[in-house]
Structures are given as structure tokens and as C-alpha cells.
Structure 1
Amino acid sequence: MALYKLFSHSVEIQYKSYFLSKATLFTILIAIFNLTLPFIVAFNSKGFWLQSHYFYEQPSIRSTYDYLLIAETDDPSINIICGEAAVLNSETIEHEENCVETQIQEQDFDKDGKNDIIAFKLHLIVPKERTITYIILILGIDLLIMTTCPLQMQSLAIINKEFAVHPNGLKYYGDIQIYQTVHLPCFQNMVDTTYNSSIFSYKSGYKNTVDSILEEYLSRDVITTVTPIFSRNQNGLTGTMDLNIVLKISEIQIRYLPSLLQELKWAWPQYLSLLFIFYCFFNRIKRFVFSKRLLMAWKIVPWSKNN
């Protein structure tokens, strides 16, 4: 009749020596190496500390209904200015009546309380015998991130387009993204409002209003950009121009500085995996040294009467 293994256990053989002995010093050195070498190997292999991390979130973006549109014509002295005309000098305000039928719409398709699209429509009346050669649209938006790293800031969506032939319409589809020059700091139970201030302010020291706004905006560490998806020009001399700008709001990748606990959670498994390998390796060394009597120690066998 066959026999089956039901249970087993190991026999423990001990090696004992005095505290002040070469065997004890050897054991202490092995323990130190076993604890430190896994850390040294893991650290030098790079990626031990989690110095950067990211998360995905669809931010809550709403229009502030502030905008500035500058349409340049083939005559440098005639530009069409729409929107925040109060920040411009009196020479450019005279063409504001060319901007009619301005619309800014927000749409939430999935009904989750966050806008999925911001649409900007504008009908321009082009001065007689003039054509549009270049436009730049600066649209004010309010951005809110509420999960891992709360952030609220007033930002801009900037669209510019140059025309090689006479345009009478532009359809533009873009995606709002975040551009970071530094990692986003995470403050526990606190919303970062460092950049929660309007950028539509005119500095008297600047002759060009757009340069003033863009220079202040681009000096920030965190800004929003518009990635073009598709654009189409409608050509022809009709004396008008229709702008149809559609900006999509999707999930955005956001980089941030992880906390100390998050770094330890990342580093601890790397250390433990190497610690186990070194533990098995050094145990074999100790077994060889003591079993071959390379260091003086008393061997304690459970079934031996004379220990």
C-alpha cells in the first residue's frame, strides 16, 4: 500500500559562540551586508525613488466670457479688434463695430457636471477692399482640478491662424491640454490658487497688448494650450468672415510631486525583493562557513545529549 506525505518540518541545527569572537563578528557583518546591499543595488539601478508621477483627470473648464480677437488685414494700419477693447488704445477701438453676432457656448454631453465642449462663434465684417491675412484669438477660461492635486486657475485658450488666400470662413477643432514646466505641487486639503487671477490686463509700458498678455501668461509654470485636431478655410471675397471654433475638453495627463509615503510605497517592494535574494545567498555562505568549521562555533544538534 502506497504511503503519502502528510506533513513535514525541518530540524534546526544551531551554531553558538561567545559575543566577542570572530564568528559573532562574521555574523554581524553578514547581517549588515544583507540589509545594505539590496538598498545600494536598488538605488544604483535608478528608479528607486518615485521622483515624478502623473494622474489623468478631465478638468472642469468654463469660459470666463472674456476674449480678445485681433484680425490683421493686408493693410497694416487696419486691424479688426474684438472683445476686450477696454484694454486697447483709442486707435484700435474704432474697428470694434466690425464684430457682430458673438456666441460662446458650453456643452456637457454626458451630464457629469463638466463641460465637454466650448464653442466660439463670431461674424466679422471685413472693411471694403481689405482681406484678412492673420487672426489670433485669446479666449479666457476657468480651470478646476479636484482629485489628486486640487488646482484652480484662470487660463487662456490661444488660437492663431495665417491665411495664404482670401478667407471668408474658418472652422477650427482643437483639444485643450495642460503644459507644465514644473511638477504640480500637491497640498493636502488645499486648492492651489497661485494663478487664479485674470490675465486680461494691459500694461502701460507695452505698445502691443497681445505681447503684454502673452508674455505674462507664458511666464507661468502651468498653462493651457490648444492642440489642433482639424481646421478648414473657406475662401472667397464676400466682405465678411465667420469663425467657428470648437474646443474639446478630455482627460488630461498631469504631472505632480509624490508624497513621502507614496515614494516609500514604490521603493519598498524593490528593496524587499532584493533583500530576499541576498538573504538566501548569505545564508548559504554562513552554512558553508560554519559547517566546514572555518570559524570556531559549537554545533547544537537537537538529538545530541552532549551539547
Structure 2
Amino acid sequence: MAVYEVYSHPIQQRYKSSFCTKASVFIIVMFLLTSIPPFLVTYSSQGFWIKEGVYREQAEVDFKHELLLILETSDSYIAWSTYEHFNVLEQSNLVVPIVKTREEDNNMDGKADKLHYNIKVPLLDTQQVFSVKLILIFDYQLHRQTKLKMESMAYIYHNSPISGAELITDGELQLRLKSPLAHKGSDVRYNVPVINKESIFSTDYQLKNIFSKYLERNVTTSFVCEYPVWIADRATSQHFEIKGVIRYPQELIPYIPGFWYVIKWGWIQYVSVLLIFIMIIGRLKTFAFQNQVIDSIVEKPLKK
């Protein structure tokens, strides 16, 4: 008659020793060899502590209907802005344009996705435009991690050796960070005017001073247009026109992770290596005690 296994269970073997013995020292050393090397291995493999993370978010952007425009012409320059004091200072070069703007929310999520703008500047027939410098001001907010709120700008610039009739741009308002944001909290450090519209000094409206102060920030925005279109041959009595689209894209935003996220990531890496050491050291301990390489008191096996 054939026989087969109908049931099995393990038998536990116990080994005992007093505290100040080789067996006790051996167990302590084995514990240290099990717990410390996995940490050293994972730490030396780079990336044990996550110092920076990224997430994706589309900012809430609103055009503030504030701008500063300078056109360099054949004889000098002309300028205009929404800032009263600047217009007073530039009265001799002031020209009042026709400005139209419109924001769109394509996906109906409550956030604007793009800004359409159109600026028509009246010129004399003898005036020719060779360069455009335009600053547009925005309210810019992030909500997902750091509650960031700031005033930012888009700078549109183009020049040409050929006088123009029209400049067309289509680009993105991109976020720039010098260092990652925090993982939580509120950041309103840069919720201050890019251009001090209350100032009566011309130096506060000079582009070099505006840009220098703006670039001291950790967080800024920049208008990126890969393909500006410059149209020449302005007809008599034709306005010089600046038009285009500024898109508000989703951004990959770097941030500094919180304590528990860092621990969770480090713990996963540590445990994955620890399991290998537990298996190897466990077999080494079993071999040492079963073969009495380390002297100990062997108790009668206990059935489980």
C-alpha cells in the first residue's frame, strides 16, 4: 500500500546561554550585522533621503490690465503705460495706443488657459519701428502644495534691422525657480508690485532696474516664444500692431518633501535590503548553533 504525507508541522529548537558568554556576544554581533549594513548599502547607493520632489500644477493666472510699452523708432522712441507717473515722465514721447485683451478658459475648470492681446499704436507716417519692448503684469497663484501668491510679469521683446508694421507672438508664461518650494505653508514674499506705480522717479521705470529687482526673487515667470513673427512694410496711416497669445501651461514644480514622506521613501529602500540580510544572517545563526560552533544549552525541541 502506498503512503503519503497527510500533515506536517515544524519543531522549534531552543538554545540558551547566560548573558556574558560567547553565544550572547555572537547574537549581538549578528543583530548589528543584520541592521546596520542595509542602512550603509542603501545610503551609499545615492538617493536614500529624498531631498527634492516634483508635482504638476497649472497656476491660477490673471492679467492685471497693467503694461508698459516702449517702441524704438527711426528718430527716437515712443512709450506708454497704465502707470500715471510714467506717462507724465515720458510726456514728450507719449503715444496712447488702443489696447484689447481677452482671457480664455478652454477646459472650463475655473482657471484661465491663455490671454489674447492686441495693441494698436498710432504713428506718424515718417516714424518707423525697429524694436518692441512690452511688459505685461499678472497675478500668479499656486495652491496644491505651497500656497504661493505673487505678482509676476511677461516681457515681450523683439528687434529687427527692417522697420515693421506688426509683431505677432504666441508663447507660454513659464515658471522659473532658483530653489524648490516648501511642501506646505503660505508664501507671499513676492506678492509685491513688479513696477512701483506710485513712484515719481524715472529710475523706477527703467527696464534695467525693473529686471534687476525682479531677478532677485526665487520665483519668477518668463514669457517664452520660439517663433515671433515680424511683419514689415507698414502702409501710410497704418497703426503699428502688437498682438498674440500668452498661454498658461501646467508646470512641473520642484518642492522640498516633508518629514514623513522622506521617512517613508527611506524605509522602503532600507527594508528591501534588510530582508536579504535577515535571510543570510538567519542561516548563519542556524548553522552556528545546530553544529555547536558556539557553545550553548540545547533544550528539548518544542512542537508547534
Give the TM-score taking structure 1 as reference length: 0.90
Equivalence for 2:268: 269
Alignment map for 1:161-200 (pairs within 5 Å): 161-188=158-185, 191-200=186-195
CA-to-aligned-CA distance 1:187-236 (integer Å, 9 cap, x gap): 34xx3111111111158483861112111111100001112143222111
Unmatched runs of 5 consecutive residues or more in structure 1:
none
Structure 1 Cα separation of the partners of residues 232 and 55 of structure 2: 43
Q: Is the 8 A contact 1:120 1:244 kept in 2?
A: yes
Structure 2: where are the runs of 5+ without partners? none
Cα deviation digits, residues 261-286 of structure 1 (max 9, x gap) = 11011111101101101111111221
**Which residue in the other structure is 1:302 paired with?**
301
C-alpha distance in 2 between matches for 1:205 and 1:95: 14
Alpha-carbon separation, structure 2, partners of 1:86 and 1:183 = 37
Aligned to 1:55: 55
CA contact (8 A) 2:145 2:182 kept: no
Other-structure match for 1:216: 213
Task: Give, in whole Å, the separation in 2 of the partners of 1:26 and 1:57.
Answer: 54
2:34 and 2:73 mapped to 1: Cα distance? 75
Change (3 A) 1:275 1:126: same
Maintained 8 Å contact 1:150/1:186: no
Deviations 1:227-256 (A, max 9, x none): 214322211132531111201112111111
Task: Give SS of 1:230's match.
Answer: coil
* Cα distance in 1, alignment partners of residues 119 and 302 from structure 2: 96
**Two-structure CA RMSD over aligned residues (Å):** 2.3
CA distance in 1, matches of 2:129, 2:29: 80
* Aligned residue number for residue 80 of structure 1: 78
Equivalence for 2:232:
235
Write the letter of the residue equivalent to 1:259.
G
Rounded Cα–Cα distance in structure 1 between residues aligned with 2:6 and 2:70:
86
Letter in 1 for 2:176: Y
Greater shift, 230-239 or 5-14, is seen at 5-14
Cα drift, residue 83 of structure 1 = 1.4
Within 1, Cα distance between the matches of 2:74 and 2:152? 31
The answer as to 2:31 corresponding to 1:24 is no
The 3-state SS of whatever aligns with 1:106 is: strand
Partner of 1:158: 155
Residues 68 and 2 of structure 1, relative CA distance in 2, 3 Å threshold: farther
> What SS is found at the alignment partner of 2:154?
strand
User: Does residue 255 of the first structure (1) align with residue 254 of the second (2)?
Assistant: yes
> Comparing 12-21 with 167-176, which one deviates more in the overlay?
12-21
For the Cα contact (< 8 Å) 1:61–1:143, is it kept in 2? yes
Identity of aligned residues (%): 25
- Residue 147 of structure 1 is aligned with which of 144, 150, 154? 144
CA contact (8 A) 1:85 1:96 kept: no
Aligned length: 299
Change (3 A) 1:5 1:247: farther
CA contact (8 A) 1:57 1:253 kept: yes
